[in-house]
Homo-oligomer: A and B are copies of this chain.
Amino acid sequence: MGTGANLYHDMHHAMNMPLYRGSPFSRDVELRRFGVVRIYDILLDYNDVLMKTDDILRKIIIQKEFQKEMGTAELHYHIGKYCAEFERQCGIKDASVLAAAYRAGVPCYTSSPGDSTIGMNVAGVELRGNKLRINPSIDVNETTAIVLDAKMRKKKTGVLLMGGGSPKNFILQTEPQIQEVLRIKEIGHDFFLQFTDARPDTGGLSGATPSEAVSWGKIDPNQLPDAVVAYIDSTVALPLLTHYALARKAPRKLKRLYDRRAQMMEKLTAEYFKHNKDATPIG
């Protein structure tokens, strides 16, 4: 779960394109004149990186496997397949998140499919008749199905949040989707760990506490004492957490949730109709 921008710019890495370390205090009017694009302290070339990645992305998404309605997990899986191939051609390894997720069967969702250069190009080729349609409801139901499947198999579920924003709510709303919309009795996620600089006092969801989430049924009230918000930059927190995890635990067998989507969706649908006898088919 992330924003499309993270995954779009990941494609540069898959193709081994040059990104430069710059300064956040650059003179951006000059950068614009010289065709340099800035993301905080990272610099990239407008023509050789941005426009070129767009060209390649457009060629990918008009391929046959994209000519249908899908959720973003499937969209990113198919793009990841190309990224894995780019890595192979460039002779590089572990450069691309999309490629790694493709290989490991980890589904990558985004809550805002139109918002990013991926979404922009999907919309662009639609003007030319492309048949790809992103359906956000597929994402809502699939993410919910993953949680419900785990709960029904007596497994624990949790959320790990780098930052906040729309992705935070999207991953947390899986519980209300089960309880409030599908009307299946449930008690909330077991773990909550957020790294953020968003404070509760702004009133937004980014900084909302796990305690507030308890009032919505998003978090199991019994697990609240262990729910943690750490006010720290993700670029510091993630390496520390990753190093800790790798040092303490042996690698586990991959869950390959991507491959199990259809099966989990079937289970969700069956449970939904079981708990909603009055839910008549529409149309």
Contacts and interface: CB of A to CB of B under 8 A. Distances in A.
A203 B40 contact: yes
Question: In the complex, which range does the number of interface residues on chain A fall in?
Answer: 35 or more
Given A115-B112, A215-B31, A137 B166 contact: no
Nearest to A176: B120
A8 to B, nearest CB: 11
B129 A282 contact: yes
Nearest to A172: B115
Interface string A130-167: 11011111111100100000000000000000010110
A51 B176 CA distance: 11
Contacts of A113: 113, 136
A114 interface: yes
Contacts of A139: 114
A112 B32 contact: no
B133 A69 contact: yes
A283 B169 contact: no
Interface string A23-53: 0111011011000111111000000001100
A65 interface: no
A212 B27 CA distance: 9
A119 to B, nearest CB: 6
A117 to B, nearest CB: 7
Given A115-B166, A115-B173, A166-B112, A272 B127 contact: yes
B38 A212 contact: yes
A105 interface: no
B169 A116 contact: yes
A282 B62 contact: yes
A166 B165 contact: yes
A216 B46 CA distance: 8
Interface string A233-254: 1011000000000000000000
A215 B28 contact: yes
Nearest 9 CB-CB pairings of A with B:
A114-B136, A123-B140, A123-B137, A112-B112, A40-B203, A124-B181, A111-B115, A112-B166, A38-B215
26 contacts: A3-B166, A28-B212, A31-B214, A39-B203, A39-B212, A111-B114, A114-B136, A115-B136, A117-B176, A117-B181, A120-B140, A120-B173, A121-B181, A122-B137, A123-B181, A124-B181, A124-B272, A127-B268, A127-B269, A127-B279, A128-B282, A131-B282, A133-B135, A163-B204, A165-B165, A202-B233
